[in-house]
């Protein structure tokens, strides 16, 4: 396992002397400090009031498939990925495809359900018409009739189940694809913004060190203090200018980030 994949210090790893079972230093051994000067009176740790039990945002696990309308929400609810160089068109067309598939699957599933219902009904009704020919000595016809219906229903529901299952697998792989695309877009966008910032930092560094070098050359033997002061001011000016520039750029990036992060706070 690599470091980043290792979520916690693995069991058995030596932990610190004052660690408790959590592998964390034992917070409960310590009371909060007061600020310097404040009286150190009886501040006993109180059991924190519990949060209201969080209502699990429980979806309907009844097996209802995702409706097409819900799809966008499922994958991209919080990521309107249209901003700053992201190809919204591509994302959308992928989503459209997935949506179309889901419409199809939903319809198919409904059709299948209707089919199953019909089969059940006919299975329930059929014994009666078969039953009357009682006079016939053989006990078999009824049996056969029932068995046939049973079999038919069984086969039908098996194939229905099979097809619903197939549809589900298909929907899942489409959803996987959509998620992968989203992951890729986000990764690209993050790399892009990281590169922009690294580039800006580099430029800023160059400007600052050029300023410093220039300062060095003009530093006279006798007026070192003065020169340092001058350099500082120059630095400050550069810094101020760069900062403005940089903040502007950060603001742009933040815009993207905010848009991505908070965009669909539905």
Please choose, out of 86-94, 133-141, 147-155, 189-197, the segment that lies near another protein by the rule CB under 8 A: 189-197
Closest contact distance (angstroms) between CB of 198 and ligand FAD is: 8
- The rounded distance, in Å, linking the Cα atoms of 18 and 79 is 43
Q: Which of 83, 163, 168, 230 binds another protein (CB under 8 A)?
A: 168
Q: Which two tokens stand for residue 57?
A: 């945002």
Closest contact distance (angstroms) between CB of 136 and another protein is: 41
Q: Which residue has the tokens 């550069």?
A: 238
Residues 66-105 that bind another protein (CB under 8 A): 66, 70, 73-79
HEC string of 151-166 equals HHHHHHHHHHHHHHHH
Please return the burial class of 48, using the count of CB atoms within 10 Å of its CB with bins 0-12, 13-18 and 19+: exposed
What's the DSSP call for residue 223? -
Residues 94-153 that bind another protein (CB under 8 A): none
Q: Comparing C-alpha atoms, which of 80, 88, 66, 79 is closest to residue 174? A: 66
* Residue nearest ligand FAD by beta-carbon distance: 194
Indicate the residue among 164 and 189 with the shorter CB distance to ligand FAD.
189
Between 181 and 220, how does the x/- string for binding to ligand FAD read (CB under 6 A)? ---------x---x--------------------------
Query: Which of helix, strand or coil describes residue 204?
Result: helix
Q: Which of 103, 152, 156, 182 binds another protein (CB under 8 A)?
A: 182
Closest contact distance (angstroms) between CB of 118 and ligand FAD is: 54
Indicate the residue among 130 and 163 with the shorter CB distance to another protein.
163
Query: Which of helix, strand or coil describes residue 263?
Result: coil
Query: Which of helix, strand or coil describes residue 25?
Result: strand
**Binding region for ligand FAD (CB under 6 A):** 190, 194
């Amino acid at each position: 396992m690599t470091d980043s994949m290792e979520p916690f210090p693995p069991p058995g790893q030596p932990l610190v002397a004052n660690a408790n079972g959590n592998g964390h230093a034992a917070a409960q051994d310590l009371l909060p400090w007061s600020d310097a000067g404040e009286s150190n009176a009886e501040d006993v740790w109180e059991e924190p009031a519990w949060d209201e039990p969080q209502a699990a945002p429980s979806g309907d696990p009844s097996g209802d498939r995702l409706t097409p309308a819900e799809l966008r929400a499922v994958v991209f609810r919080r990521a309107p990925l249209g901003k700053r160089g992201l190809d919204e068109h591509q994302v959308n067309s992928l989503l459209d495809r997935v949506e179309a598939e889901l419409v199809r699957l939903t319809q198919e599933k409904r059709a299948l359900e209707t089919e199953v219902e019909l089969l059940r009904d006919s299975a329930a009704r059929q014994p009666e018409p078969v039953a009357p020919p009682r006079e016939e000595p053989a006990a078999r016809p009824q049996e056969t009739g029932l068995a046939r219906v049973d079999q038919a229903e069984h086969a039908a529901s098996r194939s229905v189940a099979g097809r619903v299952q197939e549809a589900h697998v298909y929907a899942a792989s489409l959803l996987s694809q959509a998620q992968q695309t989203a992951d890729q877009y986000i990764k690209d966008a993050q790399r892009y913004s990281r590169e922009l910032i690294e580039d800006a930092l580099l430029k800023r560094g160059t400007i600052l060190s050029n300023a410093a070098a220039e300062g060095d050359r003009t530093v006279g033997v006798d007026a070192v203090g003065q020169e340092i002061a001058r350099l500082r001011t120059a630095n400050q000016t550069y810094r101020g200018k760069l900062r403005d520039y940089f903040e502007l750029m950060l603001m742009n990036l933040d815009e993207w980030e905010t848009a991505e992060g908070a965009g669909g706070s539905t």
